[in-house]
Structure 1
């Protein structure tokens, strides 16, 4: 059996986790757009002030930082700083043939950590709570990368 086939339960675990995280990244972008349209503020670029179907009454203040929109933008940036590392480390992890149990714990654990981080950020929990979820996810990716290195060099 090759590692990158749906006959491999570790790869299936990766595929499910990776697909959920793709949806998370894309949904966060749409959440930001939704918030911008809802408050008619938090635009990112000067050309966004051009009059059009979606912005019938442009105003320079629309380019000002809007905390409601910017919070979503920061969550999106955080996803883009963390999730691609999981995609890479996770695929390498599949290649070394870990146990299904370990793959489940690590990969679904990372998805859970990112969803918990989203919850903490969205509900304005303290930095310590948000950082805890970030740390769990980060340590999972670091563990997977180190495990791959260990197997590859021994």
Structure 2
């Protein structure tokens, strides 16, 4: 059995978790665009104030900070700061051949922590709540990295 095939149940677990996280990143970008269009605000670049079919009457205040849009943008940035490390170490983790139960715990645990973090961010929970979910997710990624180091060095 090859580690990176769908004959490997650990790879299947990674593939599902990775696909969910890629959909999360891409979906958050679309959510930001939706919020910009809905509020007609939250633009970030001066050239965005040029008249176009989607923005026929641009106004300078469209460049002002808009929390409705910026909250989604911050969520997206947070995903981009965290999910790529998961994708990278998760794939190497699969190659290191962890037990299935451990792979499920760490891979799906990260997905659950990121989704909980997103829910906390979306509902404007305080920093401690968001940081708790971030911490849980980061500990899962760190555990995978340590497993990989152990497998590589032993």
TM-score, with normalisation over the residues of structure 2?
0.99
Q: Who is 1:73 aligned against? A: 73
What is the CA–CA distance in structure 2 between the aligned matches of 1:150 and 1:46, rounded to whole Å? 50
Structure 1 residue ranges (4+ consecutive) displaced by more than 6 angstroms after TM superposition: none
Specify the SS of the correspondent of 1:53.
coil
Q: After TM superposition, give the deviation of residue 73 of structure 1 in Å.
A: 0.4
Asked if residue 19 in structure 1 is aligned to residue 19 in structure 2, the reply is yes
Structure 1: gaps spanning 5 or more residues: none
- Output one character per residue of 1:73-119: Cα deviation in whole Å (capped at 9) or x when no partner: 00000000000000001001000101111111110000000000000
* Partner residue in 2 for 1:44: 44
Q: Which residue is 1:57 aligned to?
A: 57
Secondary structure at 1:42's aligned position in 2? coil
Q: Aligned to 1:54, what secondary structure does the other structure show? A: coil
Shift of 1:42: 0.5
* 1:151 CA displacement: 1.1
Scaled by the length of structure 1, the TM-score of the pair is: 0.99
Is 1:128 matched up with 2:128?
A: yes
Paired residues in the alignment total 154
Q: Give the corresponding residue for 2:118.
A: 118
Superposed CA RMSD in Å reads 0.6
Alpha-carbon distance in structure 2 between the residues aligned to 1:9 and 1:46:
50
